[in-house]
Chain A
């Protein structure tokens, strides 16, 4: 079929080297020596001015990590990572902690400007600027390699009682909260990469929304890997106390480099009674070049705990970047009546490999979860959905609906679906459906017979295919995500 043939041709021609965020920034960096040992862990802890309990916590994780082996069950292939050949800490050199933006290295500010991330409070997110949307404000925490360089709107958030700061600051200033919650959703011993992260995590965001507070603005963290041969290990902890609401956005990019770089993050969400957390990600790490050289290894553990009654956690992700993605944002539905949602668009092109999905673990009564996953594979990529839905003995009335669809563009890619559905309760109702197909010729014919060009027709069908998920994104991100999709599928969407 000509349209698809053209699509395949142009996808091949354009492919992943369309990556627009591949520039690097030249700033002076403070780095820990290469490699990993207890001294490095102590070094990171000391750099952050952490209390002893935190240092011990990290060392405990490190010792545990030494006894673990890398997981191999995911459908991804990559050469063995030499964990001693990485820098575990890299921070732009600056005078102590910058008090205001004026003290931040202008090179870094320019980087964020180029990325369209507003660090000046009066600015709007670049994606929406000039658009006719009502202006909304977003508080941004910008993480550059291993440290947070700026956090905006802190004062205004403080007035509402919301704590939004780098996690290293939270460990110093809100130790009780951190101690109470850190590692309670993703335990130190959870898995190989989470344990590694627990030992060496450098920065990330900490959010605490007090009872009954609706966070007055969207919170956002922008992660940027810049330095060569570094691993980024961010740690995010979000707590929505009783009746609170927060919407959190996360974005990531990295420069184009020939070496693979490791990104092993841990995100923990905790929702207490009647609280709601909405977590959105646009993951656009450097995916490698068209021959599969370079790119980020994105090995991430994200988990939310609906700890309270009627709490809700919603994950939305748009995955277009990374050479390898290994990521399963999950919900533990512990509180009665709690709700988990997972909306995902995963687009792979070039030699990318994505193994992503979710886990919905129903523990409480009348818990509800919904999964919509759309995978699009093009080029020579492999795209796998791997998910678990389980209802435990006491999860009376648990309900799940899963829909995972895959779309293949070209005949050198693969799309795979590996769902696990485990029910131990007779009143649980689980429904799962999955389809894999190529763009229906009938649909294309229908569009074309109404005067659309083949490319327009493909664009329409693809956008319809992912619409369910795009609608769930906060508006600011929906704009960015739509741009991303048009880039990743350039050629197929014309």
Chain B
């Protein structure tokens, strides 16, 4: 647009001040320092994204992020005690729990003993502080000009760094819990997961925090999947209902790799989950799925970018959104097929169920294709609950509210059913049931 210099919003000004104060104390060597400065410089130039920025058309951060909260301090003993039950929803999954409280890695709540051979887990603060070789891999996947990522890179202080050596298949899932406790702060976490060739890993991310506190989280995960490696990624975003949640997945995969992702979003007043996935080799199979359940005045944005760069790759993206109250759901997905990525098979679909007047769904599924021997498609639907199905169930004596709940359950259940680990699947489904129970305003009726 025009070359106007927009007036800095209070949030932008606060972020600039915060960076000025924090920069000298943030961990990392000269390389990391210059990475931070470049990222913050890019952010300062562009400012918070607004609706005239195409990628953020439906999620205007200038409006939705009125103020920038102060950076979180390291958790106190009380904070840690309050976070004791972090990740309880996944307790039955038998996962190895790693806990971040207000963005800081808490060793005493994390299970670091008895690591499988070939598995390395380190707090990011240590990796940065010690100049660990893995720190050189940070930022390599970060997309340019993305405000959420730039802010994350500028302020990253802690997170989890995971390395799985070549050929090692880790059976036990890893569970990274990001827990917020106490007053409203900004929690910035950055995690790096490297799964080398022929290795395998299941990773669960859980975001949780108290209702009624308008804290802000900015979390980013860099995931590098080696050749012939396999990763399953589960994320449950159950932030407190006043929170602002930004999450970015930056992933790359090598030839013959497999990536399965499943996300469940129920929390936060404003949330945006973005994923950028680069399929760099041939014969990669990637499936990203997710479901978002929103009510009240919640705003939930899912933005995907899948780049097919090798031949014979298959990608599947399926996202389902359920909107109640005056919630606002956003799905933006883009598949790019490079000129030599022949035999690509890419499918993307977004389905939304709008339960009430006043709710709004915006879909933008894009294809950008430069190769001719491909099969690509996308679909998007928006609609209300099927009257006929409701009638069918009601005719069989099921009360209307319960019939609606059943239909919603099956609508999102199709996404969650894809999760292989049964306990994890149950935990996600329990999250859905909680949402349905809260919607009905009654105690949970069915399991």
Task: Say if the beta carbon of A393 comes within 8 Å of chain B.
Answer: yes
Q: Give every chain A residue within 8 A of B371 (Cβ-Cβ).
A: 408, 411
Task: Say if the beta carbon of A418 comes within 8 Å of chain B.
Answer: yes
In chain A, residues 407-425, which have Cβ atoms closer than 8 Å to a Cβ of chain B?
A: 408-425
Task: Say if the beta carbon of A112 comes within 8 Å of chain B.
Answer: no
Q: Which of B54, B366, B380 contacts A416 (CB 8 A)?
A: B366
Please classify how large the interface on chain A is, using the bins under 10, 10 to 19, 20 to 34, 35 or more. Answer: 35 or more
Task: Say if the beta carbon of A24 comes within 8 Å of chain B.
Answer: no
Q: Which of A413, A419, A421, A423 contacts B372 (CB 8 A)?
A: A413
Whether A421 contacts B2 by the Cβ 8 Å rule is no
Q: How far is the CB of A379 from chain B (nearest CB, A)?
A: 12
Whether A423 contacts B365 by the Cβ 8 Å rule is no
Closest-by-CB residue of A relative to B330 is A422
Q: Give every chain B residue within 8 A of A69 (Cβ-Cβ).
A: 1-2
Q: Give every chain B residue within 8 A of A433 (Cβ-Cβ).
A: 377-380
Task: Say if the beta carbon of A63 comes within 8 Å of chain B.
Answer: no
CA distance A300 to B352 in the complex (A): 33
In chain B, residues 380-428, which have Cβ atoms closer than 8 Å to a Cβ of chain A?
A: 380-384
Q: Type the 1/0 row for B360-376, where 1 means its CB is closer than 8 Å to any CB of A.
A: 11111111111111111
Q: Which of A408, A412, A422, A429 contacts B369 (CB 8 A)?
A: A408
Task: Say if the beta carbon of A146 comes within 8 Å of chain B.
Answer: no
Q: Give every chain A residue within 8 A of B364 (Cβ-Cβ).
A: 418-421
Q: Type the 1/0 row for B216-229, where 1 means its CB is closer than 8 Å to any CB of A.
A: 00000000000000
Q: How far is the CB of B314 from chain A (nearest CB, A)?
A: 15
Task: Say if the beta carbon of A406 comes within 8 Å of chain B.
Answer: yes
In chain A, residues 394-443, which have Cβ atoms closer than 8 Å to a Cβ of chain B?
A: 406, 408-438
Q: Give every chain B residue within 8 A of A133 (Cβ-Cβ).
A: none
Given known contacts A412-B339, A434-B379, A436-B377, A422 and B372 CB-to-CB distance under 8 angstroms: no
Q: How far is the CB of A264 from chain B (nearest CB, A)?
A: 20
CA distance A412 to B2 in the complex (A): 34
Whether A414 contacts B375 by the Cβ 8 Å rule is no
Whether A73 contacts B54 by the Cβ 8 Å rule is yes
CA distance A415 to B373 in the complex (A): 12
Please classify how large the interface on chain B is, using the bins under 10, 10 to 19, 20 to 34, 35 or more. Answer: 35 or more
Whether B378 contacts A417 by the Cβ 8 Å rule is yes
Whether B384 contacts A426 by the Cβ 8 Å rule is yes
CA distance A420 to B57 in the complex (A): 11
Whether B368 contacts A438 by the Cβ 8 Å rule is no
Q: Which of A410, A418, A419, A435 contacts B380 (CB 8 A)?
A: A419
Whether A414 contacts B369 by the Cβ 8 Å rule is yes
Whether B379 contacts A429 by the Cβ 8 Å rule is no
Whether A411 contacts B354 by the Cβ 8 Å rule is no
Task: Say if the beta carbon of B359 comes within 8 Å of chain A.
Answer: yes
Given known contacts A425-B357, A426-B359, A436-B374, A431 and B381 CB-to-CB distance under 8 angstroms: yes
Q: Give every chain A residue within 8 A of B384 (Cβ-Cβ).
A: 426-427, 429
Q: Give every chain B residue within 8 A of A437 (Cβ-Cβ).
A: 374-376
In chain B, residues 50-98, which have Cβ atoms closer than 8 Å to a Cβ of chain A?
A: 54
Q: How far is the CB of B309 from chain A (nearest CB, A)?
A: 15
Q: Give every chain A residue within 8 A of B368 (Cβ-Cβ).
A: 414, 416
CA distance A431 to B364 in the complex (A): 12
Whether B382 contacts A417 by the Cβ 8 Å rule is no
Whether B365 contacts A419 by the Cβ 8 Å rule is yes
Q: Which of A418, A422, A429 contacts B383 (CB 8 A)?
A: A429
Whether A415 contacts B381 by the Cβ 8 Å rule is no
Interface contact tally, CB-CB below 8 A: 122
Closest-by-CB residue of A relative to B384 is A426
CA distance A419 to B374 in the complex (A): 20
Q: How far is the CB of B77 from chain A (nearest CB, A)?
A: 48
Q: Give every chain A residue within 8 A of B361 (Cβ-Cβ).
A: 421-423
Q: Give every chain A residue within 8 A of B342 (Cβ-Cβ).
A: 411
Closest-by-CB residue of A relative to B331 is A421
Q: Give every chain A residue within 8 A of B362 (Cβ-Cβ).
A: 420-423
Q: Give every chain A residue within 8 A of B166 (Cβ-Cβ).
A: none
Task: Say if the beta carbon of B358 comes within 8 Å of chain A.
Answer: yes
Q: Give every chain B residue within 8 A of A419 (Cβ-Cβ).
A: 363-366, 380
CA distance A416 to B362 in the complex (A): 19
Q: How far is the CB of B270 from chain A (nearest CB, A)?
A: 18
Whether A422 contacts B377 by the Cβ 8 Å rule is no
Q: How far is the CB of A34 from chain B (nearest CB, A)?
A: 28
Whether B372 contacts A430 by the Cβ 8 Å rule is no
Whether A420 contacts B356 by the Cβ 8 Å rule is no
Q: Give every chain A residue within 8 A of B366 (Cβ-Cβ).
A: 416-419
CA distance A435 to B373 in the complex (A): 13
Q: How far is the CB of B66 from chain A (nearest CB, A)?
A: 23
Task: Say if the beta carbon of B305 comes within 8 Å of chain A.
Answer: no
Q: Give every chain B residue within 8 A of A428 (Cβ-Cβ).
A: 354, 382-383
CA distance A158 to B356 in the complex (A): 52
Q: How far is the CB of B128 from chain A (nearest CB, A)?
A: 39
CA distance A429 to B354 in the complex (A): 9
Q: Type the 1/0 row for A170-206, where 1 means its CB is closer than 8 Å to any CB of B.
A: 0000000000000000000000000000000000000
Q: Type the 1/0 row for B180-196, where 1 means its CB is closer than 8 Å to any CB of A.
A: 00000000000000000
Task: Say if the beta carbon of B437 comes within 8 Å of chain A.
Answer: no
Whether A436 contacts B354 by the Cβ 8 Å rule is no
Task: Say if the beta carbon of B355 comes within 8 Å of chain A.
Answer: yes
CA distance A95 to B369 in the complex (A): 54
Closest-by-CB residue of A relative to B366 is A418
Q: Give every chain A residue within 8 A of B380 (Cβ-Cβ).
A: 419, 421, 430-433
Whether A436 contacts B369 by the Cβ 8 Å rule is yes
CA distance A361 to B360 in the complex (A): 15
CA distance A424 to B379 in the complex (A): 19
CA distance A423 to B383 in the complex (A): 9
Q: Give every chain B residue within 8 A of A423 (Cβ-Cβ).
A: 352, 354, 360-362, 382
Q: Give every chain A residue within 8 A of B352 (Cβ-Cβ).
A: 423
9 closest A-B pairs (Cβ-Cβ)? A408-B372, A421-B363, A429-B383, A426-B354, A435-B377, A432-B380, A417-B367, A423-B382, A430-B382
Can you list 18 residue pairs at the A/B interface with Cβ under 8 Å?
A69-B2, A408-B372, A412-B339, A417-B366, A419-B365, A419-B366, A422-B361, A423-B352, A429-B381, A429-B383, A429-B384, A432-B363, A433-B379, A433-B380, A435-B377, A436-B376, A437-B374, A437-B376
- Chain B interface (Cβ < 8 Å from any Cβ of A): 1-2, 54, 339, 342, 352, 354-384
